[in-house]
Amino acid sequence: MKKSQITSLEEFQTTGYFLQENFISQAECDSLLKLIADYRRANSVPKIYRNVKPIPLSRSVINGKIIQSQIREVQKLYETMNQVINNLTNKQLFPLQDIQVGCNINITEKGGTYQWHYDRNAITALLYLNKVDGGEIEFYPNYRIILPNAKFSRFQSVIDRVQQLSFFCHIFGKQIIIKPQPGLLLVMAGDKCLHSVRPVTEAKDRINIVMAYDLPNANFVIKDKLNTYLYSSKKFDNTDPSYIMFG
Ligand SMILES: O=C(O)CCC(=O)C(=O)O
Ligand SMILES: [Fe+2]
């Protein structure tokens, strides 16, 4: 292992996240932004709005199936990033089996936000392609009290709800706020790190690529409900899609 790799691994293991500025160059960001703009000129991109408190989910998304078949450069990036993630975590992780979810392009317009949540998967890499006013990601690394083998259970949902109360975060969490900038890479343990996106305050879209990795046998029992919630404009009942709720 290279020395820089060991340093990054230690940093990731102690802090629960990893940041690298200029992971890709401005020119590479521009070329990815152009591909995304070309796609958007020819296709409509669904906007997902879920009126949850205190921060709604309000963003448009190009899902992984489209990326795989039509935006090949982004798909290649998802695949090459896998090695970076494995070096950083010292684990053998893989792209998600659920292609729709594995790699996404999030487009957040003025006023848009992303609700407080944990990701379903173990490791998430966020690559920011541009700079906007507002739109900071706010997160609490390695914050979640996670139930072994019961990450999607009703009991886990109770723990998560308590931990998401703002006074709880302020007392027990370490708050990190990161402004998007072109080429910035943020890697986090997505299922342990509580995170949200603050409102974009200028009339320009915030654009980033979200890449998810996990063990090959990772099983997301909440998959169907959560996918409807995150990717379709269908109405959704009140139960939280991140958990299995009986009765
Ligand atoms: O856009 C971001 O900075 C975070 C997005 C996110 O958390 C997600 O898509 O799961
Ligand atoms: Fe997330």
The pLDDT tens digits for 152-200 are: 998 899 999 999 998 888 999 999 999 999 999 999 999 999 999 999 9
pLDDT for residue 105 is more than 50:
yes
What percentage of the chain exceeds 70 in pLDDT?
98
pLDDT at 24: 98
Say how many domains are in the chain. Answer: 1
What are the residues whose beta carbons fall under 8 Å from the beta carbon of 182, sequence distance 6 or more?
26, 29, 128, 129, 130, 131
- Average pLDDT rounded to a whole number, residues 35-57: 96
- Give me the pLDDT at residue 3, please: 77
104 falls within a domain: yes
Least confident residue range of 6-15, 44-53, 115-124: 6-15
pLDDT at residue number 243: 85
pLDDT at 17: 97
Indicate if ligand 1 lies below 6 Å from the C-beta of 119. Answer: yes
Spell out the residues 6+ positions from residue 216 whose beta carbon is closer than 8 angstroms to its own.
94, 97
Whether residue 239 lies inside any domain: the answer is: no
What pLDDT does residue 245 have? 65
197 domain residue, yes or no: yes
Comparing 87-91, 114-118, 195-199, 222-226, which segment has the lowest mean pLDDT?
222-226
**210, 227, 229: residue to mutate for ligand 1 pocket, most atoms within 8 A of CB:** 210
Query: Percent of the chain at pLDDT above 90?
Result: 79
Q: Are 132 and 206 in contact (CB under 8 A)?
A: yes
C-beta 114 within 6 A of ligand 1: yes
- Residue at 35 is within a domain: yes
Of 124, 132, 187, 211, best ligand 1 pocket probe by most atoms within 8 Å of the beta carbon: 124
What is the distance in A from the centroid of ligand 1 to the CA of 220?
Answer: 18
Domain of 27, in residue numbers: 3-231
The residue whose C-alpha atom lies closest to atom 8 belonging to ligand 1 is: 210
| Per-residue model confidence (pLDDT) at position 246 | 53
241: in domain: no
- Spatial distance between the Cα atoms of 229 and 135, rounded to a whole number of angstroms: 21
Whole-number pLDDT of residue 247: 37
Q: Is 137 in the pocket of ligand 1 (CB under 6 A)?
A: yes
Q: How far is the CA of 193 from the centre of ligand 2 (A)?
A: 9
What is the distance between the alpha carbons of residues 168 and 161, in angstroms, rounded to a whole number? 10
- Which ligand is in closest contact with the Cα of 186? 1
Half-sphere exposure of 188 (CA within 13 A, CB side): 25
In a domain, 125, yes or no: yes
* pTM (2 d.p.): 0.94
Residue 199 maps to a domain: yes
Ligand nearest to the Cα of 108, by number: 1
Question: For the chain, what is the mean pLDDT?
Answer: 93
Does the pLDDT of residue 136 top 90, yes or no?
yes
For residue 179, tell me if it sits in a domain. yes
Q: Looking at residue 6, what is its pLDDT?
A: 76
Residue 42 belongs to domain with CATH number:
2.60.120.620
The CB of 176 under 6 Å from ligand 1? The reply is no
Q: SS3 for 77?
A: helix
Least Cα distance to 160 among 191, 114, 189, 139 occurs for 191
